[in-house]
Amino acid sequence: MGAGPAGGGAREDYSGLVLWLPGPSYGTLCRRVLSLTPIAGWARVWCLDGMKCLVTGGNVKVLGKAVHSLSRMGDELYLEPLDDGLSLRTVNSSRSAYACFLFAPLFFQQYQVATSDLDTLRCKIQMKSFLSVFRSLATLEKTVEKCCISLSSRSSSLVIQLHCKYGVKKTHNLSFQDCESLQAVFNPASCPHVLRAPARVLGDAILPFSPALAEVTLGIGRGRRVILRSYQEEEADSTVKAMVTEMSIGEEDFQQLQAPEGVAITFCLKEFRGLLSFAESANLPLSIHFDAPGRPAIFTIEDSLLDGHFVLATLADLDPHLQYLGSPELPRTAPQLQAHSSSQLDDFASDDIDSYMIAMETAAGSSGSRAQPPISLSPGFQTSHDPSLHADEEAEPSTVPGTPPPKKFRSLFFGSILAPVHSPQGPSPVLAEDSDGEG
């Protein structure tokens, strides 16, 4: 810093404004000053080196809901203040799903980020710890008036202060780890297919599905109807088949439907429910951008104060049974779809059980057991995983899972901000600029 002029003064240097003041020198530790509060002849300097955000009113609950939504996906929350707002991100353990909520500065009563070194403001916190602050949404709504999240460059804990009614103040100190920026490389604009509907429409659409259902297939069927169908992986040696549930919705319920008949993707329903429940509570429309099976599907919501992006991997191989969603050349073209919508066509043409029955009788023979004749089930899926391309996002050498995820979902490629982009989707806008090399 150096000694300043004896009488006090100010000097601008490359890192901001530094003030030398008579009396107690508040300013000596700060590299950038944000506000001055003149008090009785002394200039009181308040310096921020870090981040401070203040959320008030109903937005506290919104923030809480976003955290709940993220908690359904991943075990760690990545918090990073950016110029365009505060981002909260997570990724699931098999790297097949990524979620990001970005809260614009206007979402906050105060949003202040001041640091010379952006790297120090990125942190990774245990999701459980972060969630515990916002665990009871009802309590948040009733008692919390303000929520202040602050992070100092120098400390190793994130401080969340809840200012509640009756002067109660709850302070949470959450320890965190430094990390690199978590980013998934994706671009909704590069997806050829889009559909958009009020969250409520989609919420109603998934009601018939069991809460335990892991995966669902979304596609466009005959008559431009949007079809959601339960997806269950066939186990080769399993004789117990699962119930198949299908919901078909008319095109008119969608604000935008830009996809031809026959396209379909299969993704994790559980992770989708996370964003859907947030969108329903915020009463926002939800957009789904998707491409061919195997390419990630991007689910987005936005309004003037926030936006959310969930990127979910999709199954690379489509269940052959699903191929009937529109493609005419397969033998079992689905009179079913038509039959459901017009009862006049409801005949028994598709109820071809007789041939099955005959086969049953002759195959059973003398065994007396209720063995099913061998129906060939859909061929087992090839596990498709992306073996190579995810970069460390830890600062320190850590055990980033290098083994392919056991699930059949392709793990999303995460472009490290430092590594060259090998994205299969080509160069795409990254969310934050490279932080290598500060001026």
Binding site for other proteins (CB under 8 A): 201, 204-205, 207-208, 210, 225, 240-253, 321, 332, 336, 340-341, 343, 346, 348, 350-354, 356-357, 360-361, 364, 368, 370, 372, 375
Q: What is the DSSP letter of 29?
A: G
Long-range contacts of 210-216 (CB under 8 A, 24+ apart): 210/245, 213/245, 213/269, 214/268, 214/269, 214/270, 215/266, 215/267, 215/268, 215/269, 215/315, 216/266, 216/267, 216/269, 216/272
Distance of alpha carbon 77 from the chain centroid: 11
The tokens describing 310, both together, are 């969930």
Q: Which is nearer to other proteins, 201 or 282 (CB)?
A: 201
Least distance to other proteins, CB of residue 180, Å:
45
Candidates 181, 64, 66, 69; CA nearest to 418 is 181
List the beta bridge partners of residue 179: 394
67 three-state secondary structure: helix
Least distance to other proteins, CB of residue 303, Å:
22
Q: Which is nearer to other proteins, 8 or 250 (CB)?
A: 250
Least distance to other proteins, CB of residue 202, Å:
12
Q: Which is nearer to other proteins, 175 or 327 (CB)?
A: 327
Least distance to other proteins, CB of residue 248, Å:
4
Alpha-carbon distance of 334 to 322, in angstroms, equals 10
Q: Which is nearer to other proteins, 129 or 248 (CB)?
A: 248
Least distance to other proteins, CB of residue 227, Å:
9
Least distance to other proteins, CB of residue 246, Å:
5
Strands 42-47 and 169-175: unpaired
Q: Kindly report the number of other CB atoms within 10 A of residue 333's CB atom.
A: 16
The tokens describing 135, both together, are 């665990």
Dmax over CA atoms of the chain, in Å, equals 109
For 55, residues 6+ apart whose C-beta sits below 8 A from its C-beta are 63, 107, 108, 109, 146, 147, 148, 149
* 43 CB-contact burial (10 Å; exposed 0-12 / middle 13-18 / buried 19+): middle
Least distance to other proteins, CB of residue 417, Å:
44
Q: Which is nearer to other proteins, 137 or 339 (CB)?
A: 339
Alpha-carbon distance of 366 to 372, in angstroms, equals 14
Q: Which is nearer to other proteins, 366 or 403 (CB)?
A: 366
Q: Which is nearer to other proteins, 192 or 208 (CB)?
A: 208
Give the Å distances, CA to CA, from 186 to 232, 312, 319, 409, 427. Answer: 27, 11, 25, 16, 9
Phi, then psi, of 64 in degrees rounded to 5: -60, -40
The tokens describing 181, both together, are 């920026």
Least distance to other proteins, CB of residue 340, Å:
5
Least distance to other proteins, CB of residue 378, Å:
8
Q: Which is nearer to other proteins, 254 or 409 (CB)?
A: 254
Q: Which is nearer to other proteins, 42 or 356 (CB)?
A: 356
Alpha-carbon distance of 263 to 356, in angstroms, equals 31
Return the residue matching tokens 């050349």. 329
Q: Which is nearer to other proteins, 106 or 353 (CB)?
A: 353
Alpha-carbon distance of 196 to 198, in angstroms, equals 7
Distance spanning both ends of the chain, measured CA to CA: 18
Least distance to other proteins, CB of residue 204, Å:
6
